[in-house]
Structure 1
Amino acid sequence: MKRESLKGEKSPDKHADKHAADKQPAGEQPSAEAAFASYAAPLVDRAIEYAGAVREDASPEALHQLRVSLRRLRSLWWAFEPRLDKGENTRQRALYKYLATAAGKTRDWDILIELMTQNDTGAQAMAPKLEEIRSGALATSRETLSNADVKHLLRDALSSAAKELNTAHERVPLSKFADQRVAVSERSLRKRMKRASRAKRSNYTSFHDVRKAGKRLRYLLEFFGPVLHDSHKRTLKLLKQIQKRFGTLNDIVASEMLLRDNVALLAGSGDIEAALQWFRKERKRRMRSAAGLLRKL
């Protein structure tokens, strides 16, 4: 069972992330509008592939990779927001979030089970019930994704966005566009880090906002890295630190909440209060650790 905050979020296929800019003849500068499809199409294909895999594969990995692909799509559409119709862009990003949430409902149980198993918090006694609930969540995820017709939804979203960009009168050089969008994302991350550093320790939302902003910036650097004018090695090092520490915190907080919300379903299957106590202690420890990182950055 893997998850980005437990072992780092890896690209499902390293060879599929080659960008349009890499394929341009020397000296030629593609426009952002012309390059869009070469970024988006592989992500759409990958999301469709994993959505299909979820129908047959009950393992955590297929769900994880589907959610990663959808998050990357959402970040790409955010990057191209200035070049797309605002209303349509908002709807398409909401679609990716909806599908990722559908996959995430089962993934959340996977993370809870893994954390309890790794830290001896009563998972063995609760295992039958936890697996039963997880199976129910998987059935719901599969039904939601099947009813949504992921393949056609994503193909239509890609076609609509590509058509709009290809018919736009104005063209922006890809490298200029990439520099601008990465800069906006960096400012957003720094703003959220500053806000979180001043927030009360109990204000988890501000920490969660840092994690989301960091994840989006990392995706943009992965998309546009070859065409950016400046080196972002220092930023990538920062993002790696945030991903590790804030991702682990998110796992703990989300799992504690999930366990607390399902106490009734797990009644009689083990010492739930002991598990909740462990999560409370671990949450406080991880919050201190995340706050400590912000003070150093």
Structure 2
Amino acid sequence: MTRDSLKVDKRPADSDPAAGAHSAQEAFASYAAPLVDHAIEYANAVREDASPEALHKLRVSLRRLRSLWWAFEPLLEKGENTRQRALYKFLATAAGKTRDWDILIELLIHDDNGARSGTSEIAPKLQDARGAALSTSRETLSNADVKHLLREALSSASKELNTAHERMPLRKFARQRVAASERSLNKRMKRARRAKRSNYIAFHNVRKAGKKLRYLLEFFEPVLSSGHKRTLNRLKQIQKRFGTLNDVVASEMLLRDNAALLAGSGDTDAALHWLGKERKRRMRSAAGLLRKL
């Protein structure tokens, strides 16, 4: 299952788009503009490209935008920042509805080969459901006018920051926001270690916090001091272990929610049984990793 890369751009600081900025306010647009361009590009691509990769790239680009707006939250008007982050979440969810079917199909048909879950017979119905979800995703993204919304969000935030009277040194700001994100991750890891094995939400919160921290390190790495190698290695482990758990949990929920749609096309009970066993196995694996970190 292809996931967004964990690699942090190792360009020297003077080649970083924000290298010439002395303040966080000055640097914002150089971080945000490329992300907005990518999101618009991927949104346009989804109109023609029905592949899982096109949808995945769009969803990742929107998640990065949401994390960047979170990073600059202390410098932006709270209400507007909350609205913009909600917008990115809405658009990512629109793309994600189709992506969820791709993951379910990959788990049941490809990873399992239909052998244990007995799902080879429902493959056509799964593909039909995926096609319907893709149509809905495309319609939602088209009606939302992604290009206009993202350009407007970038313009509004940039204007607010550029007219601010106070200035925060970029390096200091980056350290503070990465540190805040690290504290959030550590707090959620502590809760998950204490949680019952059936408490998936606690594990899911660790995954989200880890992803946010990774994005911030990718944004700010050129202006941060060294010493994040251990953190990045830990984040890589979390993403891989907790990501595979999330795939199974989301797929199990999707199959249960659409059981009526797939009725009569195959043994959905067998598929749910297999996914349930996989969920428990991957929960144990995720819990084991938490104990080691």
Give the TM-score normalised by structure 2: 0.94
- Determine if contact 2:18/2:31 at 8 Å carries over to the other structure: no
Report the AA paired with residue 123 of structure 2. Answer: A
Given candidates 8, 23, 47, the residue that maps to 1:55 is 47
Distance in 2 separating the partners of 1:201 and 1:169? 49
Distance in 2 separating the partners of 1:293 and 1:68? 25
Given candidates 230, 254, 260, the residue that maps to 1:258 is 254
Distance in 2 separating the partners of 1:55 and 1:260? 29
- Determine if contact 1:113/1:123 at 8 Å carries over to the other structure: no
- Determine if contact 2:18/2:30 at 8 Å carries over to the other structure: no
Given candidates 233, 236, 250, the residue that maps to 1:237 is 233
- Aligned match of 1:38: 30
Distance in 1 separating the partners of 2:87 and 2:42? 16
Distance in 2 separating the partners of 1:93 and 1:124? 39
Q: Secondary structure at the match of 1:10?
A: coil
Given candidates 105, 111, 115, the residue that maps to 2:103 is 111
Report the AA paired with residue 69 of structure 1. Answer: S
Given candidates 264, 274, 277, the residue that maps to 1:278 is 274
Report the AA paired with residue 22 of structure 1. Answer: D
The 5 Å alignment of 1:123-142 reads 123-142=119-138
Q: CA RMSD in A?
A: 2.0
Query: Which sections of structure 1, spanning at least 5 residues, go unmatched?
Result: none
- Determine if contact 2:6/2:236 at 8 Å carries over to the other structure: no
Q: What do residues 133-171 of structure 1 show as CA deviations (whole Å, max 9, x unaligned)? A: 110000000010000000000000000000000111111
Q: Secondary structure at the match of 1:114?
A: helix
The 5 Å alignment of 1:1-297 reads 2-4=1-3, 9-10=4-5, 22=16, 30-117=22-109, 118-119=111-112, 120=114, 121-297=117-293
Residues 55 and 18 of structure 1: CA distance in aligned 2, closer, same or farther (over 3 Å): farther
Distance in 2 separating the partners of 1:85 and 1:75? 16
- Determine if contact 1:36/1:162 at 8 Å carries over to the other structure: yes
- Determine if contact 1:175/1:229 at 8 Å carries over to the other structure: no
Q: Secondary structure at the match of 2:16?
A: helix
Q: Which contiguous aligned blocks of 4+ residues in structure 1 show a shift greater than 2 angstroms?
A: 17-25, 120-124
Residues 160 and 11 of structure 1: CA distance in aligned 2, closer, same or farther (over 3 Å): farther
Residues 103 and 154 of structure 1: CA distance in aligned 2, closer, same or farther (over 3 Å): same
- What's the offset of the Cα at 1:11? 7.7
Report the AA paired with residue 155 of structure 1. Answer: R
- Determine if contact 2:21/2:27 at 8 Å carries over to the other structure: no
Q: Secondary structure at the match of 2:209?
A: helix
Q: What do residues 238-291 of structure 1 show as CA deviations (whole Å, max 9, x unaligned)? A: 000100000000000000110111111101111111111110101001001111
Query: Which sections of structure 2, spanning at least 5 residues, go unmatched?
Result: none
Q: Secondary structure at the match of 1:172?
A: coil
Distance in 1 separating the partners of 2:14 and 2:41? 21
Q: What do residues 175-210 of structure 1 show as CA deviations (whole Å, max 9, x unaligned)? A: 100000000000000000000000011110000000
